Amino acid sequence: MLFVQNKTKNSVFDKENARVKGGVMMNIAIFGGTMDPFHCGHLQIVEHLCDLFDLVLLVPNNVSPFKGEELLVDKEIRYQMLCLQVERMRAQNAQRGDKICIERCEMDREPPSYTIDTLLYLKKKHPKDGLYLCLGSDAYEGFAGWKDSQKILELCNLLLVPRQGASVDCEGVPVFEGGHQKLSKLGVPILQVSSSEARVDIAFGCFDKLPPVIAKSIQEQNLYADYAGIVKQYPSYGLSEGRIGHIHRVAQTALQIALNVHGVVRHKVVMAALLHDIAKRTPQAQIVLTKQQEKFLLALSPNIVHAFLGAEIAQQKFGVSDLDVLNAIRHHTTGRAEMSDLEKIIYLADMVEPRRTMPGVESVRDLALNGRLDEAMCIGLGQTIDNLRMRGEKIDARTTQAYAHFQRLTQAK
């Protein structure tokens, strides 16, 4: 069933009966994204928009220019799941559901999807209506770098959708209350849920971040199976339920940290997190090592061998070839100088995942989740060195070098 158009008599789509507001016929909210998958955070946003606007256009992407390297379920499958969700919303609350329309313009264009093209199309389709483009906190922060961002501002108003825990400062942005506001925000913070987090949960058999109709469709079609394929192999590597739970929490924490770090590919974050402890219980004999590698591993402290061995397993057994992902696995226990953002994210996520309760972890967690990675690394590495010294354990040279490096960085700021 397609929900591109609703012709119900006297509905919000009947322009002859539409209300005139400030010289426009309707206020229209435009809510776009890959919706891969549509999750409870999306649902909460759409419900709020339905309460505030005359019409809510859901505009699923074909391929976003900012997510070209991400894994995507086929666009038609995503579209059909979205149709099922809208149908459910109409059945549950017709007053809200009848305001929703799924717009296929981006899905039917050749990728990538650019917002300016969508707005030019929608302005022709709704010339007398007020258009409000919904932006998440991260999108709002990077808006100046969008294609034809100034032209976008001429075509529509911006509606900021604040996310719980976001580092973007939107205190001075007025709350949307109807009428014509060039920049406004939703008055209710939205659940901190991302599609990447939902996909990770699916791999571990958890569906609580998804509306029931979406969860059912995913299970019936066995969608998002790539990450689940890794998780299913954990028992063969000797990982306990406790260790698997830790990996799950690290992956979710890493994605939460990445929300406030620009330019990090979420798929890489997930792959590094899912494989960071793959060698925690794996004998070296299970993979092929050169004599030089064997000698290198023998010289390491026993509690960090798994990180370096894990990178080899990721490459040999799981086909990981991305050097940044491999380095994030390799250095998640020691750290090193000149770490990439991905390496920092995995190191910090492993240190501050919710079950970590050692003294000082709260300050590191707060810095990491607010995108202040260098400061978090400096404090976290300092705490690690202090703990190793108290226990009389060997401190790897990479760790001391990393600590000195991040001390210099933070002192220079």
pLDDT tens sequence across 138-169: 778 778 888 998 999 999 999 998 876 555 55
Q: Does the pTM exceed 0.95?
A: no
* Residue 227 within any structural domain of the chain: no
Residues 23 and 110 in one domain: yes
Please list the residues that pair with 160 across neighbouring strands.
135, 185
Place of tokens 């859901």: 58
- Tell me: do 250 and 142 sit in the same domain: no
For 141-186, give the secondary structure using H, E and C.
HCHHHCCCHHHHHHHCEEEEECECCCCCCCCCCCECCCCCCCEEEC
User: Is the residue at 79 inside a domain?
Assistant: yes
Write the pLDDT tens digit of every residue in 10-33.
333 333 333 445 555 899 999 999
Same domain, 159 and 254: no
Q: Give mean pLDDT, residues 237-257.
A: 97
Per-residue pLDDT, 168 = 55
> Is the pLDDT higher at 159 or at 191?
159
Inside any domain, residue 202? no
| pLDDT band at residue 294 under the 50/70/90 scheme | confident
pLDDT of residue 291: 87
pLDDT average, residue stretch 52-67 = 83
Q: Which residue from 336, 163, 166, 365 is spatially nearest to 250, judged by alpha carbons? A: 365
Q: Which helix (H) or strand (E) holds 295?
A: helix 291-298
Pairing of strands 100-102, 183-185: unpaired
pLDDT category at 46 given cuts 50, 70, 90 is very high
Determine the straight-line distance between the first and last CA of the chain, rounded to whole angstroms: 56
Domain boundary among 185, 202, 223: 185
Distances (CA, A) of 98 to 10, 86, 167: 11, 9, 35
pLDDT class of 259 with cuts at 50, 70, 90: confident
Structure tokens at 166: 């976001």
pLDDT digits (tens, 9 = 90+) for 96-152: 999 999 999 999 998 877 899 999 999 999 999 999 999 987 778 778 888 998 999
More confident residue, 218 or 412: 218
* 407 residue type, one letter: Q
pLDDT for position 174:
74
- Count of domains forming the chain: 2
- Average pLDDT of the residues in 314-320: 95
Q: Which of 101, 98, 166, 178 has its CA nearest to residue 135?
A: 166
207 within some domain:
no
Can you tell me which residue has the tokens 């009428």?
Answer: 179
Same domain? 168 vs 25: yes
Distance CA 203, CA 224 (A): 7
**In the prediction, which pLDDT does 283 show?**
72
273 and 364 both lie in a single domain: yes
Q: Identify the CATH number of the domain in which residue 307 sits.
A: 1.10.3210.10
Q: Is residue 4 part of a domain?
A: no
Residue 39 has which token pair? 């999750």
Residue 2 has pLDDT above 60, yes or no: no
> Is 162 in the same domain as 256?
no
Does the residue 29 lie in any domain? yes
Say if residues 258 and 138 touch (Cβ distance below 8 Å).
Answer: no
Per-residue DSSP letters for 180-236? --SEEE-SSPBP---HHHHHHHHHTT--TTS-HHHHHHHHHHT-SHHHHHHHTTGGG
**Are 387 and 265 found together in one domain?**
yes
Query: Whole domain around residue 29: which residue ranges?
Result: 15-185
Neighbours of 318 (CB within 10 A): 16
pLDDT in tens, 68-82: 456 578 999 999 999
Same domain, 146 and 246: no
For residue 408 the two structure tokens come to 């210099």
Average pLDDT over residues 263-276: 95
Q: Is residue 228, in this structure, part of any structural domain at all?
A: no
Same domain, 271 and 406: yes
Mean pLDDT, range 334-362, rounded to an integer: 97
Q: Is there a domain that residue 150 lies in?
A: yes
Same domain flag for 181 and 38: yes
Residue at which a domain ends, from 126, 157, 185: 185
Among 13-27, 175-189, 267-281, the least confident range: 13-27
- Share above pLDDT 90 across residues of the chain, in percent, rounded to a whole number: 69
Q: What is the pLDDT of residue 5?
A: 35
CATH of the domain at 79: 3.40.50.620
Looking at the structure, tell me whether residues 244 and 180 fall in a common domain. no
Domain boundary among 159, 185, 211: 185
Shared domain for 159 and 250, answered yes or no, is no
Confidence at residue 62, expressed as pLDDT on a 0 to 100 scale: 82
| Cβ atoms within 10 Å of 135's Cβ, excluding its own | 23
Q: Supply the mean pLDDT for the chain.
A: 87
